[in-house]
Amino acid sequence: MALAPIVLVIALLVLRVSPTRAALAALATAVIGTWLAFPLSSPAAPEVGTAMGPTTLTVIFILLGGVGLTEVSARSGGQAVISRWLRATETSGDRLTTLLLIALGVTPFTESVTGFGLGVVITAPLLVGFGLSPARAVVTGMLGLVLVPWGSLGPGTLVAAELGQVDFTGLGVWSAVLSLPVLVINAALIIGLNQRRIGWGQAGFVVVLLLGEWLVLIAANYFFGPPLAGVLASGWVIAVTLWRLRRGGPLPSIWRLGRALLPYAILVGGLVFSNLAVALAGGSGKIATNPALWLNLTVLITVLLLRWPRRMLHEVWPVIWGRWQSVALVTLLYVLLGSLMSANGMAEQLASTAASLGGGFTLLVPLIGALGGYLTGSNTGAAAMFSTATVTAANQLGSSPLILLAGQNVAGSVAIIASPPRVAFAVSVTYPPGQTLPASGQRQLLGAVGLLVVVLAALLPWVAALAPGVGE
């Protein structure tokens, strides 16, 4: 009975039932299970409600701000300006560096700010203009989603931390540590897919680029917190690739980007300033660092600075509202499902069963996370489904709950690159209506996910053994 909601949601998603209906059915099953065998009499029930209430509101408003920022940027012409500028950089340096700038810089940066796979929606058309076929552009763009745990300023990681009752910053740091294979393998696949051969100088540059990105990602999580980590790590890639391109010749004037980059400057500057101010104030006023607050403030400030007429506001708001409702509803349902299963003891029952596998459970954690990410198309959904069970099983086995949850978080994010809803989203901006990604492209993405899950499964027990007691 404890397994029934999970099995049902997996079966319905495999049968192509919409994520919203699948989540509703699973939630109804969990409610029935609560009535029949898992009554809400546990002392954990009010604790889960108290913890998840503010978290859920934060996630919902992060989604609203992300959708709003994307729509405002598109309507104001900012996205078009950035696209033209990136195309112009190809004449200023080597092709590989420009490819890395778009795939590993712009894609994860946009994803870190907005989420929902919108990084690919913006960069896949750029890659087509760069000379890639639509299929190769979609696969390359999806492989560029290397920082999904920090997408949309990290609501998925936040949900995992709250449901697992572990430190949010600590989870971000260990997720960053375990992301090294993702950075290396995805970069190698992007290069192999689009570049037949590279010289030793280019290979050395790629190594420095990825090592620096990994170290910046870890440091940003530790010093600034997870919401800003993806922005800063992808910012490193953008800065270093632009520096290399500039060595090959003059870049297009960056001043043309000023207005287009204004929303991102407001967002990043606001988050950095508020985090520093709160740290200097000894931790008081922490609500000022809330990413949902700054994301929505950024949209409001941008609209005011652009001096949009009321007519345009009346046009854009229904679009933002409609897109936000569809995304927010399914996210809310999965969070409610995970919270209910945590409060009524279903997750603990599943964890007890999983713990009976002993050390074998650690090997399965990446597969469990990847399954959730692939089926829901969201690391937030994957976190809501499995985080409580993973941490409970880790505690029963004497393993580090923080490290195992980080492994689940990274694996769940990895699988999103092959998730059917995300792939369809990318295809919609590169192919004519009605077309789908060829089977060869789907196999490439699934192969990448399978390889990463195997590597994470092999790596996770070693990391957990080398850092016993972390997160306790």
For residue 337, the model assigns a pLDDT of 79
pLDDT reading at 283 higher than 80: no
pLDDT reading at 72 higher than 80: yes
3-state secondary structure of 329: helix
Mean pLDDT in residue range 326-342: 75
Lowest mean pLDDT among 124-128, 137-141, 416-420: 124-128
pLDDT reading at 416 higher than 80: yes
Mean pLDDT in residue range 449-454: 95
Name, of 88-92, 251-255, 262-266, the range with top average pLDDT.
262-266
Average pLDDT, the chain: 83
Mean pLDDT in residue range 413-442: 79
For residue 306, the model assigns a pLDDT of 81
> Burial letters for 320-348: b for 16+ Cβ neighbours within 10 Å, e otherwise?
beebbeebbbbbbbbbbbbbbbbbbbbbb
For residue 465, the model assigns a pLDDT of 80
Q: How is the chain split into domains, by residue range?
A: 3-466
**Contact, 78 vs 259, CB < 8 A?**
yes
For residue 187, the model assigns a pLDDT of 96
How far is 51 from 44, CA to CA, in rounded Å?
Answer: 10
Burial class (CB in 10 A: 0-12, 13-18, 19+), 171: buried
**Contact, 245 vs 92, CB < 8 A?**
yes
Residues 6+ apart with CB under 8 A from 249: 91, 92, 93
For residue 235, the model assigns a pLDDT of 93
For residue 74, the model assigns a pLDDT of 77
Mean pLDDT in residue range 108-121: 76
Mean pLDDT in residue range 300-321: 84
For residue 189, the model assigns a pLDDT of 96
pLDDT reading at 93 higher than 60: no
Burial class (CB in 10 A: 0-12, 13-18, 19+), 301: middle
Write 195-199 long-range contacts (CB < 8 A, 24+).
195/95, 195/96, 195/99, 198/96
Tell me the three-class secondary structure of 2-17, residue by residue: CCHHHHHHHHHHHCCC
Lowest mean pLDDT among 45-59, 137-151, 346-360, 363-377: 45-59
Quick one: what percent of the chain has pLDDT higher than 90?
Answer: 27
For residue 41, the model assigns a pLDDT of 64
Lowest mean pLDDT among 46-50, 133-137, 444-448: 46-50
For residue 116, the model assigns a pLDDT of 62
Q: Dihedral angle at the C-alpha atoms of 457, 349, 346, 376, nearest 10 degrees?
A: 10
Q: Residues 297, 301, 306, CA angle at the centre, nearest 5°?
A: 150
For residue 42, the model assigns a pLDDT of 55
pLDDT reading at 433 higher than 90: no
What confidence category does residue 271 fall into, taking pLDDT thresholds of 50, 70 and 90?
Answer: confident
* Between 46 and 215, the higher pLDDT residue: 215
Quick one: what percent of the chain has pLDDT higher than 70?
Answer: 88
What are the tens digits of pLDDT across the range 148-205?
999 877 888 988 998 888 999 999 999 999 999 999 999 999 999 998 788 888 999 9
Burial class (CB in 10 A: 0-12, 13-18, 19+), 254: exposed
What confidence category does residue 266 fall into, taking pLDDT thresholds of 50, 70 and 90?
Answer: confident
Tokens 């950089």: give the residue. Answer: 89
Q: What is the DSSP letter of 150?
A: G
Q: Cβ of 259: how many Cβ atoms within 10 Å?
A: 15
Helices (H), 15-117: 19-36, 44-75, 78-89, 95-100, 107-114
Q: Which of 197, 229, 242, 239 is nearest to 93 (CA)?
A: 242
**Contact, 260 vs 110, CB < 8 A?**
no
Mean pLDDT in residue range 233-240: 94
Name, of 98-102, 118-122, 216-220, the range with top average pLDDT.
216-220
Q: Which of 250, 247, 289, 249 is nearest to 267 (CA)?
A: 289
pTM for the structure as a whole = 0.76
